[in-house]
Amino acid sequence: MRRRRGALAAVLAALAVLLGGGPAVAAPDPARPTVDLAAPTPTAPLPGGPPQGSGPGGVTVGGEGLDTRGTVVVDGAPPVPDGVVAAGWLVADAGTGDVLAARDPHGRYYPASTLKTLTLLTLAHRLDPALVVEGTAEDEQMEGSRVGMVTGGRYPVSLLFQALVLQSGNDAANALARAFGGTQATVQAMNATALEMGAFDTVAGTPSGLDVAGQSSSPYDLALFFRALAADPLTAGILATPTAEMPGVEGRSTGFQIQNQNPLAGYPGVLGGKTGFTDAARHTFVAAAERGGRRLVVSVMATENVPLRAADQAALLLDWGFGVPPSLGGVGTLVASAADVTPATPSAVPSPAGPADVAAGPPAPSSPASGGPPVLGAVALGAAAVAVVAATLIGRRRAMRPGRRRTRPAPGAPPPGRRGPPAAGPGGSPSTRR
């Protein structure tokens, strides 16, 4: 309802401008939230929880059923297992795109190393796998988890992709970004990829996922990324690689083997998984599995190691999801691309801004128009705009289907549909940043 009022208000404001003889141009889209590399590195989850993301004009990507900070479950499905305590999660049928259940699906959480799924998705078909990248001192000094690159070592891109996924190597992420033209170019490409896919909750600030003020992703977007990785033979092969060999460097190190650290490597039908942890993100995880020709994808964000690890919660959701009949459909859908996302209004309505802790960019500069139409023409255009939006809003209200989902708020969360913060996860054990 808030977005409908906002849309109508935007059109009325534009009408007022037209009647006043002002420029006959629609208000420009505000800039997307962005990172602030000059801000202090976040060291804890956002106070009060993360903001809720949305698509163009404030639309809920994947359907209005996913506009919730609580838990939503497809109608007719059994209850979600009690052990799933993460602040945000989602489980979906990767084939049909049906979202079977979710909690705070569009919460813009810190992603930690699950953001490397977007790094891989962005670079896998843009870098020559045979290209050799030389290790640098910067690679050696990367914060958090490293695969063990050394200065002067020579590493093929294909091996660096494996190191990125198998061992969550931040040094490998740094080297891959350098091969692509640098961190800035890589982050720009990652954000462009996210937008093309309809992942509007994601704002990449690093190729590794190390915390940066304003960086974010969501359970919904992580599911989009991993669904795409599992469907692409090249990246699916990387996800499923059990081991790889790092070359020795004379005088510095001997060769050694790296192993796939996916904690669900033994799960029946698993297609791959990616862990993440930082002080601000806490534990995150995304994975996919297939049984009987049916493929599911699951994402878990902002949780602790107790009472269950993120991966164990994901396993519970996969088990549950495989037991949900496909005939029940979903509470929403994973979009195939941004082309599937229809803006809420023809003119831009500002998307919900994050709290002060999340850096946001300034509004995009607008170019002045060269004069407006005559007053009578402006009135006609304005009246038509109001009529179109009013008809759209009425149509959207009629199109909403009741009874297709069951919503219950997460512990401590505001009622579904409100854009307040989600409940915080329980305490847990520390772990290495990755």
User: Which residues are catalytically annotated?
Assistant: 113, 116, 168
Q: How far apart are CA 204 and CA 223, in angstroms?
A: 16
Closest C-alpha among 194, 204, 203 to residue 224: 194
Q: Is the peptide bond before 430 cis (omega within 30 degrees of 0)?
A: no
Cβ contacts of 164 within 8 Å, gap of 6 or more: 116, 119, 120, 172, 173, 176
Whether the CB-CB separation of 142 and 171 falls below 8 Å is answered with yes
433 with 143: CB under 8 angstroms?
A: yes
Q: How far apart are CA 313 and CA 17, in angstroms?
A: 53
Q: Indicate the burial class of 408 (C-beta count within 10 angstroms; 0-12, 13-18, 19 or more).
A: middle
Q: Which of 260, 320, 259 is nearest to 289 (CA)?
A: 320
Q: How far apart are CA 255 and CA 248, in angstroms?
A: 4
Q: Tell me the C-alpha distance between 207 and 182, whole Å.
A: 10
Name residue, tokens 């599937």.
340
**What's the chain's length in residues?**
434
- 251 and 261 Cβ atoms separated by less than 8 Å: no
Give exposure, 268-302, as e/b (b: 16+ Cβ within 10 Å). Answer: eebbbbbbbbbbbbbbbbbbbbbeeeebbbbbbbb
For 132, the 3-state DSSP assignment is strand
Distances from the Cα of 66 to the Cα of 254, 301, 321, 372, angstroms: 51, 16, 17, 40
The encoded tokens of residue 135 equal 């290790």
404 is known to lie in a ligand binding site: no
CB distance 341 to 55 below 8 Å:
yes
Q: Rounded CA gap, 217 and 110, in Å?
A: 6
Query: What share of residues in the chain are helix, strand, coil (percent, to 5)?
Result: 30, 15, 50
Contact 155/203 with Cβ under 8 angstroms?
no
Binding residues for substrate are 274
